[in-house]
């Protein structure tokens, strides 16, 4: 028996057998696979911190690995394939929808990154396929993911490997990080929000350089160092120095799937609240530390329905509600 790709059903069997106390070679025998397949599966697809194995998480991790590491599948694009993809694009299907439907219906493995590249190539040649993207004004940036930007962030750990306790929001200390960009894409304000209590920390304006984001993140988060388990970001290059930040603050850093802002939904929502005080498109030139502290103070002391009308400060620090 040689190594094989496991199905989701087989992964559920592995989880059940493991929780029942079966040894790896016994699980392999039950599934009729090589023991090395089980060993590799548990080693590569268990959660990073507690080494917990769950079928759904393991399947997502394996899927991500194949999608982003398989150069071969990223390169397949013959004339017939282009015609099929074009037909779906004209129906306003997204590259991700096309990628998964082709795999499920006809067994064709073509990544959505490669489809974005095809759309960008068509645009550069005068085509208008990009207009069928939901956000066609960002098509150029998206298409270049996988060429110019792919692999630029070293030691990136996917959100798929993040412990399930983070999703449950059952503890304090799991944070989401993002940046708010100023007028004409100049300047960046780093925002970090705690998932369970909605407490937010806001930086002074800096450039979008990774070094500046690193320095400001460490500055605003150091006072809360003992209350940081994880921080999750998008794949922006401003977070390239994530290892330096995580070493300074002693936490685990995770990255969302590309174009999946809903995986940091609270951060996106909080940035919207901040926009009440810093409207979109405004310049950061006149923003002072005092003004940032005022915004932070207002948001952290505003009652939230999701917190049973406690404020983020009360929820985070365990304070009694006050009038």
pLDDT of amino acid 18: 86
Give the mean pLDDT per block of 10 residues along the chain (323 residues).
71 85 88 89 80 83 63 64 89 83 82 86 84 59 45 85 92 97 92 97 96 97 97 94 97 89 88 91 93 95 89 94 67
Distance (Å, whole) CA 112 – CA 64:
12
């Amino acid at each position: 028996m040689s190594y094989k790709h496991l199905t989701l059903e087989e992964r559920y069997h592995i989880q059940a057998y493991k929780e029942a106390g079966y040894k790896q070679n016994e699980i392999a025998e039950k599934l009729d696979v090589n023991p090395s397949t089980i060993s590799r599966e548990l080693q590569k697809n268990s959660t990073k911190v507690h080494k917990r194995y769950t079928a759904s998480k393991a399947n997502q991790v394996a899927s991500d690995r194949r999608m982003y590491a398989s150069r071969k599948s990223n390169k397949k694009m013959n004339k017939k394939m282009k015609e099929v993809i074009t037909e779906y694009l004209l129906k306003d299907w997204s590259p991700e929808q096309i990628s998964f439907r082709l795999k499920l219906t006809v067994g064709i493995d073509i990544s959505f990154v490669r489809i974005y590249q095809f759309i960008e190539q068509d645009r550069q040649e005068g085509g208008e396929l990009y207009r069928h993207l939901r956000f066609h004004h960002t098509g150029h940036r998206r298409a270049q993911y996988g060429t110019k930007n792919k692999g630029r962030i070293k030691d990136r750990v996917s959100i798929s490997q993040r412990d399930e306790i983070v999703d449950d929001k059952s503890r304090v200390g799991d944070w989401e990080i993002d940046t708010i960009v100023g007028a004409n894409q100049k300047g960046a304000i780093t925002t970090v929000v705690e998932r369970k209590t909605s407490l937010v920390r806001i930086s002074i304006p800096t450039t979008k350089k990774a070094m500046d984001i690193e320095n400001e993140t460490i500055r605003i988060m150091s006072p809360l160092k003992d209350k940081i388990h994880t921080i999750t970001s998008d794949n922006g290059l401003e977070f390239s120095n994530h290892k330096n930040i995580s070493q300074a603050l002693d936490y685990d850093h995770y990255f969302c799937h590309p174009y999946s802002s809903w995986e940091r939904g609270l951060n996106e929502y909080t940035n919207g609240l901040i926009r009440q005080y810093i409207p979109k498109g405004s310049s950061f030139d006149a923003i002072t530390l005092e003004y940032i502290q005022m915004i932070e103070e207002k948001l952290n002391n505003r009652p939230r329905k999701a917190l049973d009308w406690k404020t983020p400060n009360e929820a985070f620090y365990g304070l009694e509600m006050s009038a």
